[in-house]
Chain A
Amino acid sequence: MTNPSVDTHLLPADRSAEPLLAVDNLHVEFKTRQGLVRAVNGVSYSLSAGETLAVLGESGSGKSVTAQAIMGILDMPPARIPKGEVRFHGTDMLRLSEEARTQIRGQRIAMIFQDALSALNPVFTVGWQIAEMFRVHKGMSKKQGYAKAVELMERVRIPAAKQRVHDYPHQFSGGMRQRIMIAMSIALDPEVLIADEPTTALDVTVQAQIMELLAELQRESNMGLILITHDLGVVADVADKIAVMYGGRIVEHALVHDVYASPAHPYSKGLLESIPRVDLKGQDLYAIKGLPPNLLDMPTGCAFHPRCPYRRDNCVTDVPPLYEISGTRSSACHYFREVLDGTSG
């Protein structure tokens, strides 16, 4: 006989085919004075343990909003999630109570933000902010919490961690601050880590160090990593899968090496061609023509059609579905075959 009061909603349970985290047909809209902004229009992606998913796309394509919906840190209102699921171990988190979500946030799914200076609280020491994770979630004493904080700061390789644990965020360099942010996010060994442009605010050399650190931490703990970035250059080394977003939709979802070998969507192709390359130094960088879509007034049909070199008549009228090209690959382009072949464009 089964006990009905057992709390099973977060157990892996019988859906063994379920990935660790699955975003399914997610829609997010914002009520603004100008009108309804449909920031996310049916995004789906999934993540398994130990896997790195890179989410790409230009500014405003809905990468951060999707991540915030996963974390449950959207301000509602103005945000609303009219449709979709975010399943963690098979359970739709959007339907959990606020308390249940608070138990997941920070402990099982953690997040790193772009600008560590503004993301850290200016009036508390970094040690306090890391130790807080242990004090609030694990009931540790102040002293134990600080000891843990020092340990973590050493783990993310902050020099003289013991002395610096009582310093404030503004006393650190940008790279060190981002390390603090990382230390805080991995404090409780989360199963999923979402890094929203963790290196955009940093120098190029520091960027590489931070990416290396993230990759290393991920290998050690086998967590799933969602890496949000503008930068295709970063992705090649660390990611397993790529989701390319445009205008609040996924336009291509594939394994990294497949995309690099031959993109299946004109937009991913444009992104790839705009990576600076050493062998082409001195030449003009390729840039995708035109402007990102206005979310208040989306183009009809395929949102990318005004900028697309492959455009045909039906692109203006028919919204392309996410065509499944293979088991691991899909593209939202009516003419993905031509794009794959590299004809035209």
Chain B
Amino acid sequence: MGRYALRRLLQAIPVLVGTTFFIFVIVYALPGDPIQALGGDRRMDPVIARALRDKFGLDDPLLVQYWHYLTGIFSGNFGTTFRGVEVSSIFAGKFQVTLQLALTALVMEAIIGVGLGLWSALRRGRWQDQFVLAVTLLLVSIPPLVMGFVLQLWLGVKFKLGTGIELVPVAGIGAGEKSYLLPGFVLATTSIAYLTRLTRTSLMETLRSDFIRTAVAKGMPRRRVLGRHALRNSLIPLVTYLGADLGALMGGAVITETIFNLPGIGLQLFQSVYLRENTVVVGIVTVLVLIYVVANLVVDLLYAVLDPRIRYE
């Protein structure tokens, strides 16, 4: 298992190189001149512009620039922005916010999604099941952007002004953990819907398996058949979804953090793309890819714990 983990981590290196290069090229191809952008509306002194271009090697060929960047990363140096700020100091504290947001969303997703899914599978075909299915359809079809603004308006403005009660904070992270509840929920909605359906299907499929029939034939009470024999088997496919979703949630944080004004990596990414801070953009993406790779590795290892048929050499 240890060797398997190591091999997987080594396999991540080409993935990392490929994705960062891809991002590098895209950012490079963006229209406009980052040095001119520094000066805002005024034209920049050509001498200073020249000096900056040389300092950051902006006139080197793309591959050379990329090489400088890559070697920097592997020695733990994410570089500096054109304004001379260390990229790593921009990161400080921000990944934590985003990670906390994504984890809040993940936990909500797991509890609500799996819970609803199991519940509706056990009431298959009845009105409760139909109701859950309809709700998931609704959740999938509302974009998080709309959901975010609407909830913000209802809970933060209308409800609060009407009753004077603040149920949950609707912007910023001033209130600590509680601040993440609403953004976490908005971020999680689509995944909750998918996970509900996935869980429902998975449990229904498990309940049709031969070994469930065996458990009933053994005279096991229904509660035990469901709770011991069916549950663990039906959770296996969900783990993959949850693990892969952590990466998607961190990516989705761009929109959520912008709506809710959370000082996380998503908001930073949004601003940096806008300001053409190439090193920051590529740096953020690199770390996101790394998190994604690690999350997938954890999923695969967890898989082996849940399903004894899977062995990694």
Contact = CB atoms under 8 A, between A and B. Distances in A.
7 contacts: A73-B216, A107-B219, A119-B210, A121-B214, A123-B236, A123-B306, A168-B308
B309 interface: yes
Interface residues of A, number: 25
Interface string B197-231: 00000000000011101111111110010000100
Contacts of B209: 118
Given A102-B221, A104-B219, A136-B224, A120 B214 contact: yes
Interface in A100-142: 102-107, 110-111, 113, 115, 118-123, 132-133, 136-137
Interface in A124-168: 132-133, 136-137, 168
B221 to A, nearest CB: 6
Contacts of A20: none
Interface residues of B, number: 21
A19 to B, nearest CB: 22
Given A122-B307, A123-B232, A123-B308, A113 B219 contact: no
Contacts of A113: 210, 213-214
A133 B215 CA distance: 10
A122 B307 CA distance: 8
Q: Closest 4 CB pairs between A and B?
A: A106-B219, A105-B219, A118-B210, A106-B218
A297 to B, nearest CB: 27
Interface string B229-259: 1001100100000000000000000000000
Contacts of A71: 217
Consensus secondary structure, chain B interface:
helix
B218 A103 contact: no
B217 to A, nearest CB: 5
| Of listed B211, B219, B307, residue having the most chain A CB within 10 A | B219
Interface of B: 209-211, 213-221, 224, 229, 232-233, 236, 306-309
Contacts of A136: 219-221, 224
A136 B228 CA distance: 12
Contacts of B215: 121
Interface of A: 71, 73, 102-107, 110-111, 113, 115, 118-123, 132-133, 136-137, 168, 170, 184
Contacts of B213: 73, 113, 119
A120 B218 contact: no
Contacts of A133: 218
Nearest to A187: B218
Contacts of A122: 211, 233, 307-309
B84 to A, nearest CB: 56
